[in-house]
Chain A
Amino acid sequence: MNAPLRCLAVLCSMLTASLALGASEDTIELHDAPDRDLVAARCSICHSVDYVPMNAPVFDRAGWQKSVRKMIDAFGAPISEDDAKRIVEYLGNNY
């Protein structure tokens, strides 16, 4: 690698380091609304909650209802019936 290229590589790695902050699932922010913490806590047992905004263009309330049922019935998510209702309510209202 010649000198200018090496210099560029160093600059790139510095840039990389400076941008590396906050690139984990902990930075995903769900919309602030009632039961957000419940949704985050239950869903993130098995998966990061970026699945929520990713599927926002796809699911209406009925779609979210079906999805939450699948998590409970097919994947064994430990979610009570009352919590399931609140989760669907949050997702239907906010995504």
Chain B
Amino acid sequence: MITRRRVVAGSAGALLLAGVAGSRAFGADETIADQLLALPGKRPLIKRSFRPPNFETPLADLRQQFTANDAFFVRYHLASIPEVDARTWRLRVAGASVQRPLELSLDELKRSFEHVKLAAVNQCSGNRRGLFTPRAGGVQWTYGAMGNAMWGGVRLRDVLNRAGVSKDALEVVLDGADQQVLPATPDFVKSVPVDRALDEHTLIAFEMNGRPLPHWNGAPARLVVPGWTATYWVKHLTSIRVEPKAFDGFWMKSAYRIPTARFAGARFASQENAETTPITEIMINSLVTSHTDGQRLDRGRPAELAGWAWDGGSGISTVETSLDEGRSWRPATLGEAPSAYSWHGFRVPLDTSKPGPQRISVRATGRNGARQPEQLTPNPAGYHHNIIQTLTLEVA
């Protein structure tokens, strides 16, 4: 058990680099400025909470095809977070539906299985919760509880096949080294359907953008479930269990659930009930990174609106912009993406010839036909915020 003291020491080391990163409404009569703070090994990020550490990537750090490791968002549920020693770390593969339980060191994991790389968006289920109407309780993220990275590791499938998966396997249960402070608090343990675990794109990653995983992003190895929200991408992975029955832990049965049959996306049948079902795939979405709402443009100076579009892995078919509140749409230029699970760049020239305000909306459509909606689908936890973004730009 790791003591709280150690974690507190980690957060006390955060550096305050700038007082104001923008401000948000805070209650009826006060505003609180976002704080930009640097965790050890990270550049300054928007601090949402110190302990457990929840730090959001500022928009300015989301402009690259791959989000820098030291700018990548940090999200924990529980505050006992060990600095895992890669030399003594072991990954255990076991469970009632495993034929030959395994225990692997990091070297063995790297040596024994084929190495693969995959570009994929890692997005928190609650990304943009702070923009939800009606408001939803929890970490009040805006746009930056997400990033895109080139993940390097081995296929979970290859590891599971080495251990031997029985025919009765239903779910694969994943646990990491981070723990609860109080024994009575449920440990953060997740499960995925066995077919998703055996998908060729589900990885045990030990690299991010060609470098070892940063501590705050799950060193020495984490799960990568491309196309699914980050709740399944268990960090500091230590235990993989294959089980013939549905896992009944708090983080599956009570948390990370959405109303049943209200959202598109993969079903998680063994965890579903009449009212709620686990969140699964990332919804079609886009983000303008070149400009922010209210920004001024110089009259007559060429300007371009740019950003990213992504979904749960079908890939992006079109990104369109509208200058008339969505009555008519024109296609933006879509860039090449390194994979269907990566975000895809888009750009469109802005008209700066006439002075005055202009409203510009952006919507993405996936290759599966799903399109960003105008309205949020209400859900108590504030998940799946993916509505069309509209910015007002002022030419002067």
Does the CB pair B184–A75 fall under 8 Å?
A: yes
**In the bound complex, how far is the Cα of B187 from the Cα of A76, in angstroms?**
12
Check: B174 CB closer than 8 A to any chain A CB: no
A24 touches B50 (CB 8 A): yes
> Is the CB of B1 closer than 8 A to any CB of chain A?
no
Q: How far is the CB of B284 from chain A (nearest CB, A)?
A: 26
Query: Chain A, interface size: which category?
Result: 20 to 34
Task: State how many angstroms separate the Cβ of A41 from the closest Cβ of chain B.
Answer: 14
B254 sits at the interface (CB 8 A): yes
Q: Are A50 and B137 in contact (CB under 8 A)?
A: no
A58 touches B79 (CB 8 A): no
Q: Is the CB of B140 within 8 A of A23?
A: no
The listed residue (A16, A26, A56, A57) touching B15 by CB distance below 8 A is: A16
* A75-91 interface with B by 8 A CB criterion: 75-78
User: What are the residues of chain B within 8 A of A46 when measuring CB–CB?
Assistant: 79, 180-182, 185
Q: Does B16 contact A (CB under 8 A)?
A: yes
Type the 1/0 row for B220-255, where 1 means its CB is closer than 8 Å to any CB of A.
Answer: 000000000000000000000000000000100010
Q: Is B51 a contact partner of A25 (Cβ separation < 8 A)? A: yes
Q: Chain A, 57-74, contact with B by CB distance < 8 Å: what is the 0/1 string? A: 111000100010000001
Instruction: Report the separation of the CA atoms of residues A22 and B13 in the bound assembly, to the nearest whole angstrom.
Output: 10
Contact check: which of A45, A53, A55 meets B182 at CB < 8 Å?
A45
Q: Which residues of A contact B8 (CB under 8 A)?
A: 24-25
Q: Report B251 CB to chain A, min CB distance, Å.
A: 10
CB distance B48 to A58 under 8 Å? no
Q: Which of B14, B136, B138, B250 contacts A24 (CB 8 A)?
A: B14
Assess A48 versus B17: contact at CB under 8 Å? Given A55-B137, A56-B26. no
Please determine whether B49 and A50 come into contact, CB atoms closer than 8 angstroms: yes
Q: Is the CB of A74 within 8 A of B50?
A: no
Assembly CA distance A50 to B49 (angstroms): 6
* Docked pose: A57 CA to B26 CA in angstroms: 5
The 9 listed contacts between A and B (C-beta, < 8 Å) are A16-B17, A22-B16, A25-B50, A25-B51, A46-B180, A47-B49, A51-B49, A76-B183, A76-B184
Using A19-B17, A20-B15, A56-B26 as known contacts, list a sample of 12 further A-B pairs with CB atoms less than 8 Å apart, ordered by residue number in A: A19-B18, A20-B16, A26-B12, A47-B49, A50-B47, A53-B26, A54-B48, A57-B25, A57-B27, A67-B137, A75-B185, A76-B184
Task: Give the interface of B toward A (CB within 8 A).
Answer: 8, 11-18, 24-27, 32, 35, 37, 47-52, 79, 135-140, 180-186, 250, 254
Interface pairs A-B: 8 shortest CB-CB: A76-B184, A23-B16, A25-B50, A24-B12, A48-B50, A48-B51, A58-B135, A75-B185
Contacts from A to B (Cβ < 8 Å): 16, 19-26, 28, 45-48, 50-51, 53-59, 63, 67, 74-78, 95
